[in-house]
Structure 1
Amino acid sequence: MAHHQQAPEPTIDDDIRAVTITGPDGMTARLTNHGARLMSLTVPDRSGRMTDVVLGKDDPHDYVADDTLMGAIVGRHANRIRGARFTLAGHEYRLTANEGPNSNHSQPNGYEHRNWTIPETGGSSATFALDSPNMDQGFPGRFRIQVRYALIGGGLRLTVRGVCDETTVANLTTHTYWNLNGEGAGDILGHRLRIPSTRYYPTDSQFIPLADPAISVAGTPMDFRDSAVIGERLRDGQRHNDRQIAIARGYNHAFPIDGSGLRILAETIGERSGIRMTMYANAPAVLLYTAGFLNDVPGKRGHRYGPSAGLCLEPGFVPNAVNRTDCDRDCDRDHAKPVLPAGTEYRLDVLYRFD
């Protein structure tokens, strides 16, 4: 009697795909549906040499074991929620505490380790889609999301759209690590950075903003109103025993950005490549993370990523904003809290310009 071996159960690896898109000016981006991630982005440096400015992996399957969120779309709520709980319409929702008592990046079951579908790809753009069911990660409502990457002349446009059938919390972000000298080209401490914000949110030792309103950047290592070298600002903070710099091993801080709509949140320049990236977004704040906790992470082409190998510029809401009760002027702005009413479209627009 013949014995037929049972087919193995499909694994998450079976559905992982990579796609490449090309812009009208020759820029290319490689993407994967595992986390709707940006795997690479090649842009010309000052001499015209195409340079990959994104930290990542060579093989999309290698992201399954990644715990650094490289290139990923993070959700349903990026960054931290104190106590892994929040109250909405009088009901308390409890999340998984994955970082001490707090929730960070909606892990361990984050969107960065889901295989998104690919409803559209070809030419200069690709779209990924995810259907997040009711009470997924502990959040109410079925949340249907689409993420579109499109290369345009001199830039990359990222569009995130979502609709939920119940009022929910929605704070998605992109967690790309940038090195404008090229991934694997050392640290970003020589990069110049400008963040057009007069204020920032100091944090406690768990990287949750203090209950007080945002404070002035003047006279602090957080002052990037005028373009400044990141490493010089860090060394200033270290010389003065700045507690904020010490606990974050650099920067892990949110800066509220005045205004509304698509506007500049940050601008950074690779000191060796000459590549300048200007990031525009419609988010109320940008979180600057200089990767102080990267530790010998395997990357592309045999490179290993250590502290400050890249910097993240995360557009979105201030961490723990859903639980904030202070009277900072930002609280009067539309969408100061990441609460998405039922049937209302969630919109995050990000534009990266390179020159």
Structure 2
Amino acid sequence: MTARLTNHGARLMSLTMPDGNGKPVDVVLGKDDPHDYATDDTLMGAIVGRNANRIQGARFTLDGREYQLTANEGANSNHSQPNGYEHRNWTILETGDSFVRFGLDSPDMDQGFLGRFRVSVRYALIEQGLTITVRGVCNATIVANLTTHTYWNLNGEGSGDILGHQLHIPADRFYSTDEQFIPLPGPAGRVDGTPMDFRRLVSIGERLRVGALKDDQQLAIARGYNHAFPIDGTAERRLKLMAEAVGERSGVRMTMYADAPTVLLYTAGFLDDVPGKNGHRYGPSAGLCLEPGFVPNAINRTDCPRPVLPAGQEYQLNILYRFG
């Protein structure tokens, strides 16, 4: 197994391994040349921060102080863009045969967030797997919600869509959203009898067909999936199964563990003829993202874990991928 990375956005550019027949397959969507990420607005392979996903109204209140962020998606803030971590040149702190560690110094009021946030991310190849270890500390109490925005296609990047992939997410609840992908008020709904039920390994396309038959508006809004699934037990800050996916043609199986409270499933419904590796063009459902983190807009909610990091306390996000 081999990985390629770039310090531009601390991105995973490729991950290549044998498929079921021993043929090398690159399972990560991306670019051939690191410089091409400078114009990428899809966050391929990037570490996203300070806050991944959406904040409603691009504003929040923390410790009695109201903060106004840049509204880059209608009235909302999404992925802390347009000045997100995905377009920063991270410092290369350490390298080895099987790992690299990047660092970023995010100054006070960067992106509208209080405090100087010093963060690092370490990618390491291990036997039959990959780990992503994120650490950070700030001199003020801040919002801290980072994630990886890697697009996976376990049949190989550029091989077509991922609708034939089988997917398992061990969640019995999910958050419905409005048309701007802000989770609706109230508790997460049950997945029973909905296209959101991935409690057993099932084809993504099969679930979408069920949704089409039911005229499911959640799927129509997202052109597939762009939904958060809370995972029970992750408040214990230990690695827990978040998702499992299998490429139906390659036989490659990926199992993801993380210590985040939620995983967001995005099936890339809004990719539109994006230039990729090897002359490939990526369209809708060319990959799927599994983003461990907090519920979108959690900083403005009181009914779920909030991404608040007290001053001087270490931020941690640990992700483990196992392949077979």
Q: What's the TM-score bracket when you normalise by the shorter of the two chains?
A: over 0.9
Please tell me the root mean square deviation across aligned C-alpha atoms, in Å.
0.5
**Residue matched to 2:153:** 179
5+ residue gaps, structure 2: none
Secondary structure of the corresponding residue to residue 284 of structure 2 = coil
Which of 82, 98, 104 is equivalent to 1:124?
98
Equivalent position amino acid for 1:176 in 2: T
Q: 1:271 aligns with which of 248, 269, 283?
A: 248
Q: Distance in 1 between matches of 2:275 and 2:84?
A: 21
Q: Is 1:347 the counterpart of 2:316 in the alignment? A: yes
- Residue of structure 1 equivalent to 2:306: 337
1:198 alignment partner, one of 163, 172, 192: 172
Per the alignment, residue 229 of structure 1 pairs with: 203
**Secondary structure at 1:244 match in 2:** helix
Alignment partner, residue 232 of structure 2 = 258
* Partner in structure 2 of residue 94 of structure 1: 68
What is the deviation of 1:51?
A: 0.7
- Whole-Å separation in 2 of the counterparts to 1:116 and 1:338: 23
SS of the residue 1:181 aligns to: coil
What's the offset of the Cα at 1:161? 0.2
Structure 1 equivalent of residue 12 of structure 2: 38
State the 1:348 CA deviation: 0.2
Q: How far apart, in 2, do the equivalents of 1:161 and 1:53 lie? A: 26
**How far is the alpha carbon of 1:170 from its aligned partner?**
0.3
The superposition leaves residues 232-285 of structure 1 with CA deviations (integer Å, 9 ceiling, x where unpaired) of 101110111101000000000000000131011000000000000000000000
**Cα deviations by residue, 1:189-226 (Å, 9 ceiling, x for unpaired):** 00000000000000000001001110100000000001
For 1:219 and 1:289, the matched residues in 2 are separated by 20
The amino acid across from 1:74 in the alignment is: V
Equivalents in 1 of 2:155, 2:312: separation in Å? 43
Q: Which residue of 2 aligns with 1:292?
A: 269
Per the alignment, residue 239 of structure 1 pairs with 213
Partners of 1:51 and 1:340 in 2: how far apart?
A: 39
Q: Which amino acid is 1:252 matched to? A: N
SS in 1 for 2:229: strand
Residue in 2 aligned with 1:166?
A: 140
Q: Does residue 220 in structure 1 map to residue 194 in structure 2?
A: yes
Match of 2:282 among 289, 302, 305: 305
Matched, 1:73 2:47: yes
The one-letter code matched in structure 1 to 2:293 is G
Q: How does 1:128-139 map to 2 (within 5 A)?
A: 128-139=102-113
Which secondary structure does the structure 1 equivalent of 2:244 belong to? strand
Map of 1:53 onto structure 2: 27
Give me the whole-angstrom Cα distance separating, in 1, the residues matched to 2:245 and 2:28.
Answer: 14
- How far, CA to CA, are the matches of 2:110 and 2:212 in structure 1? 41
Tell me how far apart the structure 1 counterparts of residues 302 and 221 of structure 2 sit (CA, whole Å).
25
CA distance in 2, matches of 1:340, 1:50: 41
* TM-score of the aligned structures, taking structure 2 as reference length: 0.98
> What is the DSSP-based 3-state SS (H/G/I as helix, E as strand, rest coil) of the residue aligned with 1:178?
coil
| 1:254 counterpart letter in structure 2 | A
CA distance in 2, matches of 1:55, 1:121: 23
- Counterpart CA distance in 2 for 1:317 and 1:240 is 29
Matched residue type, 2:194: T
* Partner Cα separation in structure 2 for residue 103 and residue 110 of structure 1: 11
Match of 2:82 in 1: 108
What letter corresponds to residue 208 of structure 1 in structure 2? Answer: I
| Secondary structure in 1 matching 2:289 | strand
- Per the alignment, in what secondary structure is the counterpart of residue 159 of structure 2? coil
Q: Supply the AA of the counterpart residue of 1:346.
A: Y
1:126 Cα deviation from its structure 2 partner: 0.2
How many pairs align? 321
Percent of paired sites with the same residue: 77
Tell me by how many angstroms 1:49 deviates.
1.3
